Structure 1
Amino acid sequence: MTTADNVLALDAAAQDLLFREARTANTFSDEPVTDEQLRAIYDLVKYAPTAFNQQPLRIVLVRSAEARERLVTHMMDGNKEKTGSAPLVAILAADHEFHEELPKLLPHFPQAKDLFFSERPVREQTGTFNASLQVGYFILGVRAAGLAAGPMTGYDAAGINKEFFADGDHTVLAVVNIGKPGENAWFPRSPRLEYDEVVTTV
C-alpha cells in the first residue's frame, strides 16, 4: 500500500483514472461521445467552486461538420488534424454576463449582482478566473467518464470569439478534444516537478 493510499479518500484505481494514468490524447478512436455522457460529465463539473457561485463557464459542443470546419480554420497547424478527427470537440468559454444568473444562483443574496458585478471590467476578470477553475474540473469530469481529454490553447482566440461568440460577451478559454484514445495517442510522459520543488511552508 502506497503512502497515497493511506491518506487519500480515492482508491488507487480512481487515482489512476483521474491523475496518474490520465493523459492528453492526440489521436482518437471512432467511438462516439454521446449527449448522455456529456450530461453525466456536466453533473459532476457543475460542483466546481466559484466565487459567489457565479458559474461563468459556457460550453459549446461542436458536432456538425460545418461547425467543425469553422473551428478547425482557427486552430494552429499542429492542432488542426486532431481537432478535425476527434469524436467530439468542446469550446470552453467565460461568459462575462454571468451576473444575470446570480439572482437564481444566490437566492439568499440577490443584491450581489449589482453590489459586486455592475462594472464590465470586474466581471471579465472574475469571470475568466472562475471559469478557468471550471475548465480544470471539466477535464477531470471527462476523465471520470473513462474518456481522454485533449485541452488546447493553440488557436486564434480572436477568430474563435468572432466565429462562435459574436455577441462579444464570451471569451474562449480552451478547446478540448474528447473521446476514446486511438492508436499512438500518447507522446512520452514529460517530467513533473516534485513536491519539494514546488511547495514551501511559511
Structure 2
Amino acid sequence: MAWDNVRAARAKGAVLDAHAIDIILGSARSHYAWTARPIDPALLQAIYDATAAGPTSMNSCPARFVFVQSSEGKAKLGAAVKPANFAKMADAPVTAIIAYDREFWRLLPELFPHDERRAIFADNPALAEETAFRNSTLQGAYFMIAARAYGLDVGAMSGFSNAVVDDAFFAGTSVRSNFLCNLGYADETALFAKLPRLPFAAACSVR
C-alpha cells in the first residue's frame, strides 16, 4: 500500500533527534575552503536519490545536476564564476551545477501518469520556466540537506554568469543553470562566526 513505507519509517522514530537536525540545519555552515579528501562517487548517487524523493509540483522533478570534478570541467566553470568565488569552486572536490529543464513537462506522462498536464506547459513557456525554476530551487535545497545528512559539507554559490555556464554545459538543450553548490569536506580553519538569523517574531506571523 502507498502508506506502508511512511508507516514503517515513522515506526522507527517519529522525528529526527536534535543531533540530526543540528547536522543538517542547526549548526551546519556554508563552507568556502576545502580539504583534499575526495568524495566517494557512490555518495553522489545516494545524495541524488534522497533529493529525488523530495516533493515537487505535479512530481515534475525539473532539476538536473551536473557534477563537475575534472580539471577540464573546472576550467569551463571557472570562466563563469566571479574572481572572489574562483578558489571556492576550484578547490572543492565537486561543484554541482543545479539546473532545470524548461521542457520537464515532456516527462509528465511518466512522472504524473494519472492526469495529462503537458498542454498546460507546452502552450505556456513562461509558466514552464517559472515552474521549473521554482521547483529546481526546492530540489537544490533538498540536495544540500541530503549532502549534509550523508556527511559532506556544502557551499552554495550564486556569484557566476548563468549565461556562460549555460553556453559551456547546456548549449543546444532546454536546460538552464540555477545555482552552484560546492561539495566536499571543509577546511574548518577558514570559518568565521555564524551570522545571525531573524527570530521567529520578526519573520513569522500566526493568523
TM over 0.5: yes
Taking every aligned residue pair, what percent have the same amino acid on both sides? 34
The C-alpha deviation readout for 1:134-168, integer Å capped at 9, x for no partner, is 11101101110111110000001111111111125
Is 1:148 paired with 2:153? yes
Give matches, 1:32-51, under 5 Å: 32-51=38-57
- In structure 2, the residue corresponding to 1:55 is in which secondary structure? coil
- The ranges of structure 1 where at least 4 consecutive aligned residues each deviate by more than 3 angstroms after the TM superposition are none
Structure 1 equivalent of residue 185 of structure 2? 180
Structure 1 residues 66 and 198: CA distance shift in structure 2, 3 A: same
Match of 1:138 among 134, 140, 143: 143
CA–CA separation in structure 2 for the residues paired with 1:187 and 1:168: 40
Give matches, 1:28-177, under 5 Å: 28-109=34-115, 111-114=116-119, 116-118=120-122, 119-177=124-182
Match of 1:195 among 200, 203, 207: 200
Any stretches of 5+ residues in structure 2 without a counterpart? 1-13
Letter in 2 for 1:177: N
Structure 1 residues 14 and 183: CA distance shift in structure 2, 3 A: closer
- In structure 2, the residue corresponding to 1:117 is in which secondary structure? helix
Is 1:14 paired with 2:16? no
Any stretches of 5+ residues in structure 1 without a counterpart? 1-7
CA–CA separation in structure 1 for the residues paired with 2:190 and 2:50: 26
The C-alpha deviation readout for 1:108-142, integer Å capped at 9, x for no partner, is 12x2112x211222111111111111111011011
Letter in 2 for 1:9: V
How many residues are paired up?
A: 193
- In structure 2, the residue corresponding to 1:141 is in which secondary structure? helix
CA–CA separation in structure 1 for the residues paired with 2:197 and 2:101: 32
The C-alpha deviation readout for 1:19-77, integer Å capped at 9, x for no partner, is 11211111111111122001111111112211110000000011211111110111011
TM-score normalised over the length of structure 1: 0.92
Letter in 2 for 1:157: N
CA–CA separation in structure 1 for the residues paired with 2:112 and 2:159: 35
Letter in 2 for 1:89: T
Root-mean-square deviation over aligned CA pairs = 1.2
